[in-house]
Structure 1
């Protein structure tokens, strides 16, 4: 079976590449187009050309922004046989935050169109699974949950000694909580804080650089495990918003990287699905007290059942693709 894995920027989509690796291990042939553009109209046209040329058996579409591929279902039956829709982010709710109700209505129209046209649906967590079920026709499409867990190989990064830093990893922006993180650095001037990541407005956020904040910028992923190992506490200091119910411990890559490496994690603006050892989820208004409480704590030792790896998804992915045949 030939499977086309499709996203806005396929070669840069982590979840897509994880699926690719597993599918190839299961013996499927995968196709991934490369678009040398970020123009949505051009991407849409290039994807259709690719599909018409390659005629894959299955198109596995990873969502956001859904408008790019909204008319792909027209090619089903002639240029490809089956479609899987991966609902990994609530695009409608994201747009509502910037463009209010009209943005959500437009985006969810396309979400519903793609979900209803799919033969099967994959998603990252329970809340998104429940949301996408409301788009299906009387539950006709089965929904399979495939969480965002790191590969086992992520653990093999360089072993570096802990240096006591409180660490922020990811895009330097308000949505990821950089403002809250820098506020913590001001509140605790005697503690070392580390930022691993970057963003278009990072210079603005870091214009008044605090002496206790180390900024490393983006780092190659193979170095990330080593940097996390140096941390005393890892933080995801997001503010609560309408995305909070859909952002959980099953969908956040970096949270599971932190926990698999045995780190204490303080998070806000996310929702708990499972009880996880060493994870404290608080309201963003309680971050200061949480950091104070955790400064002298040591993480609990992990048992085999405490780890979450991508490889645990193999059986579910195998089931999805056997079902689609």
Structure 2
């Protein structure tokens, strides 16, 4: 079976990028022929606000008329490729697209994002979501959303260190508003006897560098291996998100045996409920209380490690994608459709409205 995976990122510390890299590895291992289109190997404008929409448009044009057994797009903008290719089409939702765009760029852009999301869901033969809450949210547009979770490549994880070899609090991910990282300097000012480590890059890097006290260290963007090593030496993983799909970094932290603290939004609840970690309301006061409790010694993280490894490893999750692909491939293939340039232009205008920077 020949599969095309399309995503803005591949590998690295991005949750979506890690998901696509893991899916590629385990599909290939299962005997599939897999092509990958990402911004790393496809034309795009490397300009803030234009990278994703130009990648989505140019990839759709570059693959026009090509046939695959399955075309699998990751996140809403990449669904544009469905309009130019032939084969069964799968869209995976990695988060709350319209909600996050509204949070980052305002209500008008959020409304445009919601319109694009609704269209993209209608173009796909099957839609999956990486968390149950993302699936439930998208069902207002389409009721048959299938839950297939994010997954971690356990072969890449270092051996978990013992509790006496760990110290401090760590965050790893994108440095942007929806991740809530702007709260970390305030938390560090409240808990002054603990070292806070921040790994990642993004639009809030300069703000964090200017506002962080001396017990915060910003590492910037690191490769995945270096990130995992630093996480493994930390006691607590912090995820103060305003909005979240299903964080790959949080799953990795659970698998490594860190005590985890996260806001009670999105997939965080799915991962840390039933005593597998600490859930807090968004805000300094609630997160500070949860962090102080998490930093106490004596936490048994083995149940959360076991839960994460049993439910979110690629060995388990890839089987669900294989079943989906085989089911779609066995159905009558979609008839070849004439490529309508007007439809592409209309969708590109939506993408441009959503992703262009507002000055």
Q: In structure 2, what is the equivalent of residue 62 of structure 1?
A: 74
Q: Is the 8 A contact 2:159 2:256 kept in 1?
A: no
Once residues 290 and 258 of structure 1 are traced to their aligned partners in structure 2, the CA distance between those partners, rounded to angstroms, is 17
Higher mean C-alpha displacement, 118-127 vs 264-273: 264-273
| Deviation at residue 43 of structure 1 after TM alignment | 2.8
**Does 2:179 correspond to 1:176?**
yes
Once residues 98 and 294 of structure 1 are traced to their aligned partners in structure 2, the CA distance between those partners, rounded to angstroms, is 30
Q: In structure 1, what is the equivalent of residue 251 of structure 2?
A: 256
Higher mean C-alpha displacement, 33-42 vs 186-195: 33-42
Equivalences for 1:263-282 in 2 at 5 Å?
A: 263-268=258-263, 270-271=265-266, 272-274=269-271, 275=273, 277-282=275-280
| Deviation at residue 37 of structure 1 after TM alignment | 1.9
Once residues 112 and 31 of structure 1 are traced to their aligned partners in structure 2, the CA distance between those partners, rounded to angstroms, is 27
Q: Is the 8 A contact 1:162 1:229 kept in 2?
A: no
Q: Is the 8 A contact 1:231 1:263 kept in 2?
A: yes
Q: Alignment partner of 1:184: what SS?
A: helix
**Does 2:102 correspond to 1:96?**
yes
Once residues 218 and 81 of structure 1 are traced to their aligned partners in structure 2, the CA distance between those partners, rounded to angstroms, is 37
Q: Is the 8 A contact 2:260 2:294 kept in 1?
A: no
Q: In structure 2, what is the equivalent of residue 50 of structure 1?
A: 62
Q: Say if 1:234 and 1:99 are closer, same or farther in 2 by CA, change over 3 A.
A: closer
Q: Deviations over 1:92-111 (max 9, x none)?
A: 11222245443233222221
How well do the aligned residues superpose, as a CA RMSD in angstroms? 2.6
Once residues 10 and 155 of structure 1 are traced to their aligned partners in structure 2, the CA distance between those partners, rounded to angstroms, is 18
Gap runs ≥5 in structure 1: none
Q: In structure 1, what is the equivalent of residue 7 of structure 2?
A: 7
Q: Is the 8 A contact 1:3 1:60 kept in 2?
A: yes
| Deviation at residue 230 of structure 1 after TM alignment | 1.1
Q: In structure 2, what is the equivalent of residue 150 of structure 1?
A: 152
Q: In structure 1, what is the equivalent of residue 121 of structure 2?
A: 115
Q: Is the 8 A contact 2:11 2:19 kept in 1?
A: no
**Does 2:231 correspond to 1:236?**
no
Q: Is the 8 A contact 1:173 1:199 kept in 2?
A: yes
Q: Is the 8 A contact 2:158 2:232 kept in 1?
A: no
Higher mean C-alpha displacement, 48-57 vs 119-128: 48-57
- Count of equivalent residues: 307
Instruction: Determine which structure has greater relative contact order: mean sequence separation of CA pairs < 8 Å that are 6+ residues apart, divided by chain length.
Output: 2
Gap runs ≥5 in structure 2: 330-359
Give the TM-score normalised by structure 1: 0.83
Give the TM-score normalised by structure 2: 0.76
Higher mean C-alpha displacement, 107-116 vs 293-302: 293-302
Once residues 108 and 290 of structure 1 are traced to their aligned partners in structure 2, the CA distance between those partners, rounded to angstroms, is 34
Higher mean C-alpha displacement, 79-88 vs 297-306: 297-306
